Each structure stands twice: as structure tokens, then as C-alpha cells.
Amino acid sequence: MKQIKSFAAIFAVLSMLFATGCSSDDGGFTQTDDGSEEEVTDLSGNLESDRILDASFQYNITGPYLVKSGATLTIPAGTVITTTGGTDKYIAVEQGAMIDIQGTASLPVIMRSSQDPWGGLLLCGEAPTTEGVDAIAEVGGLIYGGTNANDSSGNIDYLIIEDSGAQINSESQYNGLTLYSVGSGTSIDNVAIIDGTDDGVEFFGGTVSVTNLYLENNEDDAVDWTEGWNGTVTNTYVLHTIEGFSTAVEADGDNANPKLMNFTANSTTGGTALQFKKESGATITNLALIGYETSIDMKDDGPLSNVIIEGEDGDPNNTYIAPPTVDVTIFDWVSSNSTGDSFTILEGDVTGTVTLDPNTNYLLNNSYIVQSGGKLIIPAGTKITARDGGVDVYIAVLKGGQIEINGTASDPVVMSSQSAQPGDWGGLTICGDGPTTEGIDAIAEVGGFVYGGNNPNDDSGNIDYLVILGTGAQINSESQYNGVSLYAVGDQTSINNLAVINGADDGIEFFGGTVSATNLYFENNEDDSVDWTEGWNGGITNTYVLHEIDGFSTAIEADGDNFNPSVTNFTAVSSTGGIALQYKKESGATMTNVLLTDYATNVDMKDDGPVSNIIVDGVPMTTVDDDVFNGTAVDISGWSWINARL
């Protein structure tokens, strides 16, 4: 475990670093007195060759940092770059250079000032501008403009810029993100610009487009363009809660007909929403303006026919008041990740005994694997935030290892991605030494882990009061992670009070083994809530399944040979039809007190196996249409612990 300050500075994406390398010959490293290399965290001067920053360091801009032609600056997820501000504090990517900002929703890249406004991020490209080829920027004499509309200056993804807008001279200020003739080959997605003293983003010509743009309390214009920019901005949310700002949109110069798609601007202090100067215009669809005194201001009496809104000429008498056309929750990553809280990373191997601290904020960064002989103890109330890193992020307990999850009804353990959306991460996998029809030392589809033996009494630890959300990352075209995967887990393992919610695959799956589980809650898992195969012959008691989404698979899916597991006190409720119980091959179960509500199909014998293998309340079924699933509902009114979240 490694302590790193600031949620957004927690880690670098390891696979990216390994694939790209970590060399830098432009001052990225310096030699210490003992001859070792040390990362240079002050950023200034010229970057003449490729450099990859390291998210475990916090960087400081001490002067203009210029990425020169032919060089690429790579900034991994979670990197924080700060400065004290001033007109000489900025990052500029010159013509022919590239930037690769690789933030994620859970770990955006953050650039901010700790004191005065700073210069923000500037990109200079070779796309067309009405200023011609090799124009001179008002910032630092940078050169921009050319004839290559498809020019690429790199990639920006999940970037937060704060506190920009340093004063250049009496007429000019820096913006948060300044795009000089940037071409359409540049990818810009998920950018937030907050508390700038000038514009949020300004386009000086070029053809670049931007998707998912959040702009809050920038004192001049939120979005500004000039010099014939003709790209597209999609999904923009502007928030004004301060007096004296200029506009949500300012456009100037010739009209190259850029597009705004899904644009919502919200002001609590009046002001002007859209201002068009000279001949400028745009095509705007799905516009919502809330709280502005002036909807459209044609500053120089240019033609309203250049401003096309919802297919018609713009009308200053129309307030364009409408419900928001952009769901601001798509920008939850902005406010929730710039808090600067301290997190502790979980990744790598557990070889001894590791006990977590419920008062510590944990981030599951990559795989966290309990090796044979190791033990991971997770006390009541512990919360683990899983990076939404897909298949790279999971907890696994290997054969011979143990996990103790010691939650309580009042203080359950929570493991969840930040947004708790299906498929964000890989969930919990436990591998035991119990029997499976796959034999001894079988290979799991997850991580190539080894499982299976001849010890039905194997003990992998205990799970008590655990809530898991957002699992089900896609492994390949055939496989996904489950919320909890139990590979040949033995009956001395204790599992009680488990909730799996919003998984893209199964809630729980048993791959052989003899383990049993009690008090299970499954809500809106997209595949099967309970799944077993490979001869599992344990039991589940007191299980509640809720389906409120279309397209799920089943409440129970059973496959393979029938080792007659038991299902006692099982309630499944659907508001969208679907299949309740599906049995494949020869599978079956002994079921007691089962209630199925509002499924289109109660029993599906997928491979025409013997329905008599399903024994309900002591009687083998004779047909799939037997009316035998009218038991008493499992009472979950006291299960308030299932509502625990990060």
C-alpha cells in the first residue's frame, strides 16, 4: 500500500507506462550525488523529446513549458499539476508536437493554481485559420495555422483546469484551454474548466471538435471562437453563479458554421447567453438556456440567418428556456474528484496478513491478489473505491489464501466504482481447494488462476455484510467478471449478508465447490443473479432478487452435472418479465419456499434436461408449467445495510 496525496494524483495506469516506457532525455530525470536518477517535478523550458509524467508525483509549473515539434508529452490518469500562477506559467504544445492526457472518470488529470491565475493549456496546430499560414499568437509569439484540416495535436481525456486567466496585457488574458488552429485529428473529450478569470475554452480557427465540456464560473466567455473555427462541441454544460461574466458563448469573425449539439447553459445571475460578433454564426441543436436576461445578442448587427437554432433562424425574442438538454450527472467526475482527499492505494500482492483501516479511504487501483498463505482482513465500515479500470481492477484470493470481510448490519463493507455503473470493474474472486468437475488445479477464466482440489472442507475465510456495486467488466467476447466468483470454494468458508448491485454480468457464480451462503440480495444484475456450474453442491438460504431493467438473463442459471445444491427461501421479483429459473444440461436443485413474481417464464429447461431434477418443497417437478412457486416472500424490511454506498 502506498500513500499519495490527492484523489486525482493517486496512480499512473501501469499497463500504459509499461507499454510506452519511462525514458525522458529532456530533464525529466536528474542525477543525484550517488549517481541514481530522480524525477524532475518542476516543469519549465523546452521539451525536445518524448516524456511521460508519473502520477505518483505532483508537478509544479515554474515557467513556460513548451512541447517542441516532434516531442510528445504524456500525462497519465491521476496526475496533478500545480503552479503559483502568473503570465509565464502555462503549458504550450507547439506545431508538430503532441500531448496525450490520459485521465479517466475516476482519476482525471488536474491542472490548477495554488495562488494567482495562470496561463492554462495551449495547443498550436496546422489547421486552417483566417489569419493564414504561420500566424503569430498573442501568447509567447507561438506560431500556428496551416493547410492541414486533419492535423493532430494529440489527445485530451478527462482533464480539469482550474484558476486560469492570467493577464497578458491590458487587452488580453489567457484562457483555460486555448486551441490555435488545432486540427480534427486531435481528440478532446471530457474537459472541465472552472473558475477562470477569462474564457473557458477558445478556438482560434481550426477544425477540432470537443465532446463533454463542463464550464463553471469563468468570468469572461465560457466558449469563445474566432478566425473561422468550424468544428463541433457536443454535450456542453455551462454554469454561471457569479456576477459580471461576459457570455456562455461568444463568436467573432467570419462564419465557418461550427456546430453546438446538446448545449445547456444555466445562470443564477442573469446576463447574456449567446453573443455573435461581425458575421459569425453557428448551427445549434438541443439548446436550453436557463436564467439569462438576453438569449441572443448580435453585437455588430450581423445576419441572424447565420445563427440556426433547431433548424430556424435565431430569434432574440425567444428565451430558449427549456429543460436541460445535457444531464449534468455525466460530469459527476468533476466535483467528486477534485477534492484533494488522501487515499491509500490497494494493488499488488498480499503475502502476509494485511488488515485495512475503516477510517482510511482506499482506492483499488489494479489487481489486488491474496497469495497462498496470505490473509486480507477488512473490518466493518471499510469502503473501497474501485477505479473504473475494467478487467485490470479486481480483488482475488488464491488457493491457500484467505479473506475476512467483517462487516456488520450497521457498518457493512462497501466495494464500488465511483459511479457504480455496470462493467466498471472486476469484483471479488475467491479460489479454493474444493471439488469441481473440472478436476484438480483447473484454470479459471479470470486471471489464469488455479482452483480445484479434493478438500470439500477447504476454508477461504468469511464474508459478512458486504455490498458490491458496478462489477462485470468484459474479459473477452465470451466472458465477464461477476460480482462474486467462487471457484471450488469449500464449505468451511462462511458467506452471510451479501449484496451485489448493478453488475454487468452475474451477481454470484459458483464454479464447483461446496460453499453455502445466507442472506443474499441481488439488484439489477444484467446477466444471472445466481449462477452455478461444475458440480456445485452447497446451498443458498434467504435470497432476494430484484429485476427492474430490461434484457437481464435470469434470476438463477444452473449448468452442467446435477450435484443437487439447495435453494431455501428464494424470492425473485421482476417488473420487466424475463426468465426466472434456467437449467442447462443435467442441472437441477432442491428448492424450498420459492416465490417468483411477474416473470414471463418461470422455468426454462434450456437443453431439455430432466425437469424432475428440480425438486420443489419435496416434490419433483413434472412439467415446467407446474404451479409450485408461490411461497412466502423473504422479508428484507430489516436489511437496511443493502443501501450502503461509498
Q: According to the model, what pLDDT value does residue 391 have?
A: 87
Q: What is the largest CA-CA distance in the chain?
A: 88
CB burial of residue 339 (10 Å; 0-12, 13-18, 19+)? exposed
Backbone angles phi, psi at 177, to 5 degrees: -125, 120
Give me 255's grid cell: 462564419
Locus of grid cell 494529440:
154
What mean pLDDT is reported for the chain? 91
Q: Would you call 333 helix, strand, or coil by DSSP? A: helix
559 dihedral zone (left: phi>0; alpha: psi -120 to 50; beta): beta
Which segment of 2-6, 102-106, 218-222 scores lowest on mean pLDDT? 2-6
DSSP helix, strand, coil percent of the chain (3-state; round to 5): 5, 45, 50
Locus of grid cell 502476509:
352
pLDDT over 70, % of the chain: 93
The mean pLDDT value for 455-462 works out to 98
- DSSP assignment, residue 304? G
Cβ–Cβ < 8 Å for 76, 22: no
pLDDT in tens, 112-125: 998 999 999 999 99
Instruction: Indicate whether 27 pLDDT > 80.
Output: no
Instruction: Indicate whether 430 pLDDT > 50.
Output: yes
The mean pLDDT value for 327-344 works out to 65
Q: According to the model, what pLDDT value does residue 31 have?
A: 47
Instruction: Indicate whether 280 pLDDT > 90.
Output: yes
Q: According to the model, what pLDDT value does residue 249 have?
A: 98
Instruction: Indicate whether 433 pLDDT > 50.
Output: yes
pLDDT in tens, 380-417: 999 998 877 788 889 999 999 999 999 999 999 999 98
141 dihedral zone (left: phi>0; alpha: psi -120 to 50; beta): left
Give me the amino acid identity at 640. Answer: S
Instruction: Indicate whether 531 pLDDT > 50.
Output: yes
pLDDT over 90, % of the chain: 80
Q: Which element (helix H / strand E) includes 335? A: helix 332-337
pLDDT band at 335, cuts 50/70/90?
A: low
pLDDT band at 23, cuts 50/70/90?
A: very low
Residues 6+ apart with CB under 8 A from 422: 470, 471, 472, 502, 503, 504, 526
Locus of grid cell 436576461:
293
Q: According to the model, what pLDDT value does residue 471 have?
A: 95
Please report how many Cα atoms fall inside a 13 Å half-sphere around the Cα of residue 624, on the Cβ side: 16
Locus of grid cell 475467491:
430
pLDDT band at 3, cuts 50/70/90?
A: very low
Q: According to the model, what pLDDT value does residue 16 have?
A: 31
Q: According to the model, what pLDDT value does residue 476 have?
A: 78
pLDDT in tens, 336-370: 333 333 467 798 999 999 999 999 988 887 899 99
Locus of grid cell 457493512:
412
pLDDT in tens, 215-228: 999 999 999 999 99
Count CB neighbours of 189 within 10 A.
18
pLDDT band at 29, cuts 50/70/90?
A: low
pLDDT band at 579, cuts 50/70/90?
A: very high
Closest-CA residue to 506 (of 545, 536, 535) = 545
The mean pLDDT value for 439-455 works out to 94
Q: According to the model, what pLDDT value does residue 37 have?
A: 59
The mean pLDDT value for 536-561 works out to 98
Cβ–Cβ < 8 Å for 343, 9: no
DSSP 351-369: -SEEE--TTS-EEEEEEEE
Locus of grid cell 469573425:
253
The mean pLDDT value for 608-617 works out to 97
Q: According to the model, what pLDDT value does residue 341 have?
A: 39
Please report how many Cα atoms fall inside a 13 Å half-sphere around the Cα of residue 405, on the Cβ side: 28
Q: State the pTM of this model.
A: 0.56
Q: According to the model, what pLDDT value does residue 345 have?
A: 79
Backbone angles phi, psi at 559, to 5 degrees: -145, 155
Cβ–Cβ < 8 Å for 345, 5: no
Residues 6+ apart with CB under 8 A from 260: 223, 232, 233, 236, 249, 282, 283, 284, 285, 287
Cβ–Cβ < 8 Å for 180, 122: yes
Q: According to the model, what pLDDT value does residue 418 have?
A: 76
Instruction: Indicate whether 316 pLDDT > 90.
Output: yes
Give me 189's grid cell: 473529450
